Structure 1
Amino acid sequence: MASSGYTYEVSLRLVRGRDGHAPGKPATVTFEHISHDDIIAIVERMRGNSGFPPETAAAVALGTKLLGEVMLKEKHNPLFNPLRAGLHAFITALKNTTTTERTDP
């Protein structure tokens, strides 16, 4: 049976706490996420031409894609209603903004 998209394993690991020290025990969150887009390609495009530092570009791309996919899957959930127009406008602006418009002179 064909997949309905790309399946990702998303993992987040705490490296340092607010105090600058490593956690005493491993602190991680891992889950699977299905996306209709190739998120890795999107992250690489953002890193290459967004004007953001690479880690910022990755965070913006990944965060936007994860939230956007959840909102699509939960299209009838009123909890997301306040975000829908704003996220759509943000994604449109992000796609239309050139690198030079986001970098400092």
Structure 2
Amino acid sequence: MKQHRYRITVEHLADANGQPSAYDKPMQFEVGNHDDVFAVVERVKRRGDFDDTTTAAFAVGLKLFSEVMIENRSNLLFEEFSPHFFEFMKKLKKGIPPD
């Protein structure tokens, strides 16, 4: 399957108490996705559910998670959850304006 390729970088800035991070390097990895994640973020923004930062976190996290589920659909870890998740995705996509 053809996929868009992404480099994901997560940098820990501070702990829950506001203290500087003990992690000296960002976590970085490359991953593929069947969707254009940037386009998905823009479409979800048009729904108006969240502010821009929350929308980006929600949409990117959702796309990363859903791609893992798709690529590992036979994994028993997802057996009970996947029908509910895919129903949620159908409802979400109904409310997203097309490009």
Shorter-normalised TM range = 0.7 to 0.9
Mapped to 2, the partners of 1:94 and 1:31 lie a distance apart of: 27
Report the identity percentage. Answer: 29
Q: Work out whether residues 41 and 60 of structure 2, in 8 Å CA contact, stay in contact via their aligned partners in 1.
A: yes
Q: Work out whether residues 13 and 29 of structure 1, in 8 Å CA contact, stay in contact via their aligned partners in 2.
A: yes
Shift of 1:89: 1.4
- Give the 5 Å matches for 1:1-80: 4-80=2-78
RMSD across aligned positions (CA) = 2.0
Contiguous gaps of at least 5 residues in structure 1: 100-105
Mapped to 2, the partners of 1:82 and 1:58 lie a distance apart of: 27
Shift of 1:54: 1.0
- Give the structure-1-normalised TM-score: 0.80
Letter in 2 for 1:22: P
Contiguous gaps of at least 5 residues in structure 2: none
